[in-house]
Amino acid sequence: MVNIKTYSSAKIKRYLEQYKIATMEDLKKVLGTDVRMTVFRKLKELPLRTSYSHRGKYYALEKSIKFDSLGLWSSKSAWFSSYGTLLETTKVFVMKSEKGYSVTELDDILHVSVKESLINLFKRKSLWRKRISGVYVYFSTSSDVQAKQVVRRREYMYDQNYKLGRVEDGLLQHELKAAIVLFSSLLNEKQKRLYSGLEAIKIGYGGDQIISKLLGIDCHTVARGRKEIMDYDIEVERVRKKGGGRSSIKKSPEIEKVIEYLMEYEKAGDPTGKGLKWIRRTPEKIAEQLALLGIEVSGKAVGTLIKELNYSLRCNSKKISNGGKRLTKEEREERNEQFEYIKKKREEFVKHGYPVISVDTKSKEMIGNFRNHGTRYKKESDLVFDHDFKNYGIGRAIPGGILDVQRYEGFVYVSQSLWDKKDNKFASSETSEFVVENITKWWKCYGKKTYSNSGKILILVDSGGANGYRSRMWKLKLSELFCNKYGMEATVCHYPSGASKWNPIEHRLFSEISKNWQGTPLRSYETVLKYIRSTKTKTGLKVKAYLVRKNYIKGKKISDEDFKTIKIRPHNTIPKWNYTLMPNGGYVSTN
């Protein structure tokens, strides 16, 4: 007998009563299904409304909505209308308006962009529009209502122009403002002051404030220009009175010393004193501190001075390796020797046609409606959780990667580590077994066919983690699952401690994947796989991705007896980082 899973709309109702609004993805999780039609069928059983913002992305129960006097209601950033869709809401607002609406006016009321909706309604002849003062205004198609709206719009424009003191035939608000601003931009300081005062006189009460806002100058300057005209106190030959204007700020030893003192605990830079320095404080904050000391100087002037003192804006730079620990001479020589040896082994294997792969595990990614760093082009921002709590998500993805260095092909096996609500932990972990099984899968499906005549392989890995050089599990699993099973000789070279960024897979594969999905919330494992598979570069990178549902458990131990079964041959050059694993009964020469 086949068990058919049933779904209840009551779950959706309870969720919406608690959280007010929800998206399709939220409701899928509530019902425990990935099928959109299942959710749609259940939504039909409930009295719901969809948002007119976010392209109808959000749902809400009708009983939870309390419309205001305009027929609008919002929750978080989602807006709902008693008239339904954005198109219908836009139409009703224009039809009921007293003086029609421009795009900007209706944008402010509905809190979304309505330009596209208004144009569509005009093309369908559902609304009528007229260009007034350089701006399209939308009106009702009913001739009686339209006539009243146009008259009231013209009265409104007349009132606006009257406030500026200029009402002439054919010259309305926007043209008048543009003319005043354009003319004032051609004047010098004194002429602009007098002209602003003249316009303020024409307006009368409140004119100083209106002209100050329009021209972007201080209200006291307008008042001074008005007073000069009224008192006939105008100097014809000078722009400013003698001695007027702010004294120029010049770099002086006193100001330099004060700035250096203020920056004593804020700066960083070249210890030799010859290079650039950088600080945390902004020029405006430094100017405020200088003002407290009796030195009046603008933030702009401070910016000029600190540049002359060799300060500059800087960001963090990740260039300190090994945790900041100073390496000894022997450690530096050993590190350099390992890099040279890896280079030599790569050239040797490539020359003979043997495969060379770079192996590592990418940083773990939370799966759910979480913020992902970076930006991307979208009409609206994605709404994500305000906290990245583990129990908010589905689980996490553990991408285990393999890069075929010669063919520039990437293979990523994503471990599905679901969140166990009962035990309050993730079901799967990054283990040596996971890494080795990824290598065996790659060899079985791709490597064996591509390098059919090869009995050897070079594996480049980091010195720590699941594939670290100290890990006995890593060596045992590589011997059992790969070398013994396929009769392969696996030469392993570990990058020095703190040098994992030099592993080719880090900067040739993982970095490209991160750039491809930046700014995209990874809401499902399918999303992760999709973005990994679509990762490409101009230099020819191709990536394949697979989901691994098996759970890998940490904490497994290896007995000394089991470890002795491994046939391992350390190399003469730094044997802890370089060794070859052979299938049982085999032998391989080193160096």
- 586 vs 285, higher pLDDT: 285
With contact defined as beta carbons under 8 Å apart, do 531 and 420 qualify? no
- The 10s digit of each residue's pLDDT in 60-94 is 999 989 999 999 999 988 999 999 999 999 999 99
With contact defined as beta carbons under 8 Å apart, do 430 and 548 qualify? no
Question: Is residue 160 pLDDT above 70, yes or no?
Answer: no
The CA distance from 261 to 279, in Å, is 12
Residue 207 is predicted with a pLDDT of 81
With contact defined as beta carbons under 8 Å apart, do 346 and 356 qualify? yes
Label residue 117 by pLDDT band (50, 70, 90).
Answer: very high
CB neighbours (10 Å) of residue 235? Answer: 11
Average pLDDT over the chain, rounded to whole?
84
The CA distance from 209 to 220, in Å, is 9
The CA distance from 457 to 464, in Å, is 21
- The 10s digit of each residue's pLDDT in 13-51 is 888 888 899 999 998 888 888 888 988 888 888 999 999
From residue 201, alpha-carbon distances to 171, 196, 197, 213 in Å are 20, 9, 6, 15
Residue 357 is predicted with a pLDDT of 96
- The 10s digit of each residue's pLDDT in 350-395 is 999 999 999 999 999 999 999 998 888 888 888 999 888 988 899 9
CA–CA–CA angle 50, 55, 57 (5° rounding): 50
With contact defined as beta carbons under 8 Å apart, do 355 and 349 qualify? yes
The CA distance from 500 to 206, in Å, is 68
With contact defined as beta carbons under 8 Å apart, do 165 and 202 qualify? yes
DSSP state of 446: I
**Among candidates 101, 102, 106, 99, which has minimal Cα distance to 148?**
99
- Of 257-266, 378-387, 547-556, which has the strongest mean pLDDT? 547-556
Residue 252 is predicted with a pLDDT of 57
**Among candidates 517, 579, 521, which has minimal Cα distance to 545?**
517
The tokens describing 412, both together, are: 């990523």
Mean pLDDT of 515-525: 92
Dihedral class, residue 134 (left if φ above 0, else alpha if ψ from -120 to 50, else beta): left
Helices (H) and strands (E) in the chain, counts: 23, 20
- The structure's pTM equals 0.51
Residue for token pair 């999303």: 527
Question: How buried is residue 211: exposed, middle or buried, by Cβ count under 10 Å (0-12/13-18/19+)?
Answer: buried
- 247 vs 323, higher pLDDT: 323
Kindly report which listed range (126-135, 202-211, 479-488) carries the lowest average pLDDT score. Answer: 202-211
The tokens describing 554, both together, are: 């940490």
Question: Is residue 172 pLDDT above 50, yes or no?
Answer: no
SS3 426: strand
Residue for token pair 């490409």: 536
Mean pLDDT of 298-323: 72
Label residue 268 by pLDDT band (50, 70, 90).
Answer: very low
Residue 259 is predicted with a pLDDT of 67
Strand partners, 439: none
- Listed in order, strand segments (DSSP E) in 292-364 are 356-361
Question: How buried is residue 230: exposed, middle or buried, by Cβ count under 10 Å (0-12/13-18/19+)?
Answer: exposed
- The 10s digit of each residue's pLDDT in 43-61 is 888 999 999 999 899 999 9
Mean pLDDT of 1-22: 80
The CA distance from 532 to 542, in Å, is 10
The CA distance from 348 to 155, in Å, is 87
**Among candidates 207, 181, 177, which has minimal Cα distance to 192?**
181
Question: Is residue 255 pLDDT above 80, yes or no?
Answer: no
- The 10s digit of each residue's pLDDT in 187-230 is 888 888 888 888 888 777 778 888 888 888 888 899 888 888 87
Four-point Cα dihedral 188, 193, 195, 200, nearest 10? 160
